[in-house]
Amino acid sequence: MNDPAGKAPRFPLRLDQVGGQAPAPRKELLRPQAPLQQAHADAARRAAPSGLGLDSADVRRRMVQRLQAQGLQHEAVAAALAEVPRHAFVDAALATQAYEDTSLPIGLGQTISKPSVVARMIELLMRGARARAASGLGRTLEIGTGCGYQAALLARLSRQVLSIERLKPLHDKARENIAPLRIANLRLVYGDGMRGHPPNAPYDSIIAAAGGEALPPAWLEQLAVGGRLVAPLQEPRTNRQVLVVVDRHEAGYEHSVHEAVKFVPLKSGLGG
């Protein structure tokens, strides 16, 4: 279901209102990402996995094989999932479940999304026109850092990632989780992600891990022309949350609606 570009968007945008005029286009140069990605791969190899011992890489590989059997196609996304130690982002008591396809509690009523949903959303981002052309996500904004797992994956596929969390204890925990991985191109920000993060805008890729009834206008404004946004969104009139993809073109925004999902609510302001 695509909206033709050219309708003026009303803010805040709801699922039935996406589409419209864009301000003047901006040009951005994308630098090659391979050296950075190599550096991350090396760093991940150096960081000893904890909790599951040395065979955690095998367990992860099996998780990726299962995701591929379910439809994951993108090689770089699969490689990132095979590298990032998901067990290091959850409580030690839950580590044995870390490579099952299930969401897990991370405290304060929040959850780490299940791997198949994380894989699906990042794959949707990677299929955007600019990401395909650049073989990477470029400058990425994540709303909802949570434990930091998805941020670590995004960093392997992006030139730069900025991830925002509104709950201070989770922001702090994500910092702790990320530190041993030494991810140089990931910045964690404590703040209200509904406002996006204007200082670093525009973003080639925007991904939200929490869903509301409308897409905050700041996200659409801060999406680069040629960029793509993937977010859960409440469907009007039903209680379903679905994945939406928004592409920004010079002439306006185009959106498509995908499968039903279950994300924690997007909340405004700071908490905890």
Minimum distance between the CB of residue 264 and ligand SAH, rounded to whole angstroms?
5
The residues pairing with 231 across neighbouring beta strands, listed in sequence order, are 244
Which of residues 95 and 225 has its CB atom nearest to ligand SAH in the complex?
95
Q: At 32, give phi and psi (nearest 5°).
A: -60, 145
> Does 154 help bind ligand SAH (rule: CB under 6 A)?
no
Which of 50, 103, 113, 158 is an active site residue?
A: 113
* 116: annotated active-site residue: no
Q: What is the closest distance, in whole angstroms, from the C-beta atom of residue 112 to ligand SAH in the complex?
A: 4
Residue with tokens 């770089």: 76
Of the two residues 249 and 258, which places its CB atom closer to ligand SAH in the complex?
A: 258
Shortest Å distance, C-beta 110 to ligand SAH: 4
Residues 6 or more apart whose CB falls under 8 angstroms from that of 203 comprise: 138, 139, 140, 141, 162, 196, 222, 223, 224, 227
Give the span between the Cα atoms of 87 and 89, in whole angstroms: 5
**Residues in 242-261 at the binding interface with ligand SAH, rule: CB under 6 A:** none
Rounded CA-CA distance 158/156 in Å is: 6
Strand partners, 47: none
Active site residues per annotation: 113
Point out which residues bind ligand SAH (CB under 6 A). Answer: 106, 110-113, 143-144, 146-147, 149-150, 164-167, 170, 192-194, 209-210, 264, 266-268
